[in-house]
Structure 1
């Protein structure tokens, strides 16, 4: 037998050069361009001229400014506008270290009076300046951020002179702007994209790679200091570009979804970020855990489950254990989860309808929804985005499991959802009911029974050990927050009705009803087809996920209504169901299109044009839905002092400053009672009494007749119980109901102090515990 010698065919030299150009040349070009742009990129200097503070409001916040306090009126001295120190003046430059480091700070000052030195500090580092009677510039170098101020720069002046010195201008400049890490990440992402597309036509490769390259260059030029560094944004964008290369095969779909991703990444700069005070409750539990105190709110205190997000708290514990800044890490995570949720809704739609144009509706509508953006791409620090992403994945897995495989995996995913938030149990409940209905149907789908067993088994395998631990550890079947925030009153349900109505009205109630109507009609028409079976008993086609999504949405609305909603902006409790709801709305559009085709095929040619009416109506509903969602976005800027988001952020920032004051000015055994038990206990690291009961078993289990008539989550308290514990301090913001008590008036005195970030702090201190205040 003749032997056969294998042969290899070498690529032509020109083809080899093209491969190297695509795989190496473009990433290297990107790296060189980004590095070349570093010296000319804007936003590397912040200049604050007295009297020209842009957007300054009475709360001391303006463009590039925070806590602008202690300054005299604007005047003119030696030809320059200036303000006098009064006697201690300060402000912060948020995100100063996002420009780069070290920072060069130039302060233009004039004694313009008696020659007395002025005390000046930068991020807590003190300087003594000898001023003259003329304007003089003083330059300082700040090498690294201070832990207390994170990425911000804090400047403070103090003078005891009768005629205090003048400040004309402060300039903050990054001597060495950031950029190398981001450039390397962008080049790596581009290289990965080109490798994944190596089998695609060259023109398509270059187009997609060119779009990614241009986006990276543009982002470098447009980047302004914010919570996330440019490298973080590049990392998120690069990961999204790689994911889109794999998940969005049609190039048109990929480009549209890339625009959505860029929109999500731009939001922190366009509308600002925010973090809820409640987010720091989980962080306090996480820190106590890694420091060896267990899952407790107060080290050595009672075991109370004051969090409802075990999985998120564990993630935050990992963040703290690694030494990462938790607020920044939470923002990175929620931004990543926002992108993941968008891509997941797209893939869910593709699995349902195939790669048709309709599949772009769920991700696009999700990306313009204010509530989704607020609790994901823009932060919040809460677990909401994680619940939404895991919940959508669980619904998809339950639906796919109806083919006969994957029940255990779906159950495991459901367990993760419930471990992130207990009300995530509505998802396995909906899936279990759907499968049970299939088992009990007259023409039973036999695969449904093993799938149901797999769902229950997979769920129990993960969740049962966790639940047994938490029940043995805390002693109650539900988290303490459930008892603190809910009751069994009509008023609570009525508040929930208003909460639910407000949410759907914010979506565009008429559009939602029209599209859900088409969805329901299509689901009912297809009900008979969905249970057809082959002679072997197996279904010829996959069941539609519409019944599962409908049941989940209905269960969620019912639950949220019964518990009365919550007090946070934009109906936080409804955010996890948004992907499912938008998939149903898209289902309505698809059904309207199908209905139109049926009408056009069956009716007389003279009236066949009426077949376009259903789709036209659905299209109009989608347009109105998009308009209603986009319109309020500018008013939700977290930097706008007239908006509620700014107010929520302000609460967190003020309590952060209060916490730092407690840490640096009180003894370690100090006890504080507060109704805002997030940022202050986390940063203050003092034993804290939660007067609203989220972290107190006694208060949480009180029964009150007026439940549902006050602010959701802030209705239970016990004044005497709190005072009996003799807290050393009670912040002024908590003291309202206590001030009417004679006992409180006798035992406490009002104290006014200056916070470490320049703000004024009002709090009540026990008269017999003055020693708790450090000298």
Structure 2
């Protein structure tokens, strides 16, 4: 076996090992997408509540549509999301190998596979790895055009369209590469036709979703966008995390023959991160949003190291860059939470959702109503009509309505209140808890981890039956998943992997 083949086998082994270590992880937000996918597959359209006013509580239409196909085929959406992301992670590895050479290939690929967050983003259920793969491919297509190579006329416009369907900011992220391609190919009719076709398709999609949902932007935009202070913190954290990769990519500007490559890659990174720098993204666990441009930085670092003359300089730069991202990636503050999040989600949110589904036999469909702030696994697994009083899936709240008034008017059968301890908070996400739970019975306080609880309230007349179903499900899950352990430590995760945990 050749040295290169051994190296590829080693990279794949590392990728497989990291995937295994993070496989239990799935993020609650992924179930928001899966709920829309399920309803689309059932013929109700991409809606939060069947029969309700359409609201766009997701930002990944293409990912949602892919999982609607999976739901129609009756595949488990969590498994489909993980396997799809794993395949795309292998594709990223292949793209990096083919776009770099020598020491540059070693640096680019090792930085990718030794970055611990890679595996949690792969397993998490969201479109993170898929979006990163499309952005990387667009950047590579741009570099090939700069080098005078011919690319398929259809590929850059399709990448632009796919990126925009995966995330709204995908158009910005792939625009630098598409602009470079179009400039070089501007005298040929083929590229123009494909670009017009992609623009028509993209505009048609935009008009449809504006008409269908009633707003030009996803509902989440109106809840989250505009926190410049948080955006500044995000930018500083991202610069620190990827500093060596960014510096190596910047070094491409030094050499005449790589200057355009460097400008394109840096432009892609800036265009990808601009939205997040202005919005201060929430749910940014393990640099999730910065990860969208991470493979592009791996590519830039690989191209730069391959350009270094002295071998010792390439070795030092490569070890420093790979070691930096590997160490900082393994020491990100949120890692203990995320490493244990999957089992914690099973014994809290998922257990409550499954408990509500158990109660369906005794609760007529018209009474299956729910208010919740963690609008993921609980609404998805129960499939009850749900109010998201955080506002991500509720237009009225997203546009300024008082959550207390919205929930009181709806009078849902079940209200789930998140807290940081066993005590019920007086206010949560603007909802005055005592007011909305008047006439309800507190049937369960479900502990997820040491600082996170879900308190379940049920209308008094229904409390005994619904409460019993929820508590039976929760008790079973608490016995199954890390019983008695709630601490946020890496050791709990490692104990579980080694079989020393009780789960």
* TM-score interval, smaller chain: 0.7 to 0.9
Higher RCO (Cα < 8 Å, 6 or more apart)? 2
1:397 paired residue among 141, 144, 153: 141
Residue number in structure 2 paired with 1:362: 108
Q: Give the 3 Å change call, closer, same or farther, for CA 471–649 of structure 1 in structure 2.
A: farther
1:62-77 paired onto structure 2 within 5 Å: none
Q: Is contact 1:519–1:589 with CA below 8 Å preserved after alignment?
A: no
Q: CA deviation at 1:657?
A: 0.5
Q: Is contact 1:432–1:452 with CA below 8 Å preserved after alignment?
A: no
Residue number in structure 2 paired with 1:656: 350
Residue number in structure 2 paired with 1:143: none
Q: CA deviation at 1:770?
A: 4.6
Q: CA deviation at 1:771?
A: 8.5
1:426 paired residue among 172, 177, 188: 172
Q: Please give the secondary structure, in 2, of the residue aligned with 1:566.
A: coil
1:252-263 paired onto structure 2 within 5 Å: 252-263=3-14
Q: Please give the secondary structure, in 2, of the residue aligned with 1:274.
A: coil
Return the structure number with greater helix share: 2
Distance (Å, rounded) in 2 between the aligned partners of 1:253 and 1:455? 37
Q: Give the 3 Å change call, closer, same or farther, for CA 624–361 of structure 1 in structure 2.
A: closer
1:748 aligns with 2:440: yes
Residue number in structure 1 paired with 2:89: 338
Q: Is contact 1:496–1:564 with CA below 8 Å preserved after alignment?
A: yes
**For residues 352-399 of structure 1, what are the alpha-carbon distances to aligned partners after superposition, in whole Å with 9 as ceiling and x for unaligned?**
xxx5442332122111112223212xx001111111112222333344
Q: Please give the secondary structure, in 1, of the residue aligned with 2:318.
A: helix
Q: Please give the secondary structure, in 1, of the residue aligned with 2:58.
A: coil
- Give TM-score, length-normalised by structure 1: 0.53
Q: Please give the secondary structure, in 2, of the residue aligned with 1:733.
A: strand
Q: Please give the secondary structure, in 2, of the residue aligned with 1:336.
A: helix
Q: Give the 3 Å change call, closer, same or farther, for CA 635–578 of structure 1 in structure 2.
A: closer
1:646 aligns with 2:328: no
Distance (Å, rounded) in 2 between the aligned partners of 1:687 and 1:407? 46
Q: Give the 3 Å change call, closer, same or farther, for CA 588–396 of structure 1 in structure 2.
A: closer
Residue number in structure 2 paired with 1:42: none
Q: Is contact 1:566–1:572 with CA below 8 Å preserved after alignment?
A: no
Q: Give the 3 Å change call, closer, same or farther, for CA 252–391 of structure 1 in structure 2.
A: same
1:498 aligns with 2:233: yes
Q: Is contact 2:222–2:399 with CA below 8 Å preserved after alignment?
A: yes
Q: How many matched pairs?
A: 450
1:665-704 paired onto structure 2 within 5 Å: 665-666=359-360, 667=363, 668=365, 669-702=367-400
Residue number in structure 1 paired with 2:306: 590
Q: Is contact 1:691–1:718 with CA below 8 Å preserved after alignment?
A: yes
Residue number in structure 1 paired with 2:57: 306
Q: Is contact 2:48–2:393 with CA below 8 Å preserved after alignment?
A: yes
Q: CA deviation at 1:512?
A: 3.5
Q: CA deviation at 1:769?
A: 5.3
Q: CA deviation at 1:461?
A: 4.8
Q: Is contact 2:374–2:388 with CA below 8 Å preserved after alignment?
A: yes
1:580 aligns with 2:313: no
1:196-275 paired onto structure 2 within 5 Å: 207=1, 251-275=2-26
Q: CA deviation at 1:689?
A: 0.4
Q: Is contact 1:480–1:695 with CA below 8 Å preserved after alignment?
A: yes
Q: CA deviation at 1:748?
A: 2.9
**For residues 573-631 of structure 1, what are the alpha-carbon distances to aligned partners after superposition, in whole Å with 9 as ceiling and x for unaligned?**
111211111111223323432xxxxxxxxxxxxxxxxxx4xx64553232122223333
Distance (Å, rounded) in 1 between the aligned partners of 2:190 and 2:251? 30
**For residues 626-679 of structure 1, what are the alpha-carbon distances to aligned partners after superposition, in whole Å with 9 as ceiling and x for unaligned?**
2233336666899x9x54431465235411100011111252322111110111
- When structure 1 is superposed on structure 2, of 620-629 and 669-678 the one drifting more is 620-629
Q: Give the 3 Å change call, closer, same or farther, for CA 521–336 of structure 1 in structure 2.
A: same
Q: CA deviation at 1:561?
A: 0.6
1:623 aligns with 2:347: no
1:519 aligns with 2:267: no
1:763 paired residue among 437, 456, 470: 456
1:277 aligns with 2:10: no
Q: CA deviation at 1:405?
A: 5.1
Residue number in structure 2 paired with 1:569: 285
- Give TM-score, length-normalised by structure 2: 0.80
Q: CA deviation at 1:456?
A: 2.6
Q: CA deviation at 1:745?
A: 5.4
Aligned-residue CA RMSD (Å): 3.1
Q: Is contact 2:128–2:292 with CA below 8 Å preserved after alignment?
A: yes
Q: Is contact 1:691–1:722 with CA below 8 Å preserved after alignment?
A: yes
1:720 paired residue among 377, 397, 405: 405
Contiguous gaps of at least 5 residues in structure 1: 1-206, 208-250, 350-354, 439-444, 531-543, 594-611, 703-715
Q: Give the 3 Å change call, closer, same or farther, for CA 700–455 of structure 1 in structure 2.
A: farther
Structure of higher CA gyration radius: 1
Distance (Å, rounded) in 1 between the aligned partners of 2:157 and 2:213? 25
Q: Please give the secondary structure, in 1, of the residue aligned with 2:169.
A: helix
Q: Is contact 1:400–1:406 with CA below 8 Å preserved after alignment?
A: no
Q: Please give the secondary structure, in 1, of the residue aligned with 2:438.
A: helix
Q: Give the 3 Å change call, closer, same or farther, for CA 637–486 of structure 1 in structure 2.
A: closer
Q: Is contact 1:493–1:562 with CA below 8 Å preserved after alignment?
A: yes
Q: Please give the secondary structure, in 2, of the residue aligned with 1:521.
A: coil
Q: Give the 3 Å change call, closer, same or farther, for CA 684–495 of structure 1 in structure 2.
A: same
Distance (Å, rounded) in 1 between the aligned partners of 2:267 and 2:252? 13
Q: Is contact 1:435–1:449 with CA below 8 Å preserved after alignment?
A: no
Distance (Å, rounded) in 2 between the aligned partners of 1:367 and 1:521? 28
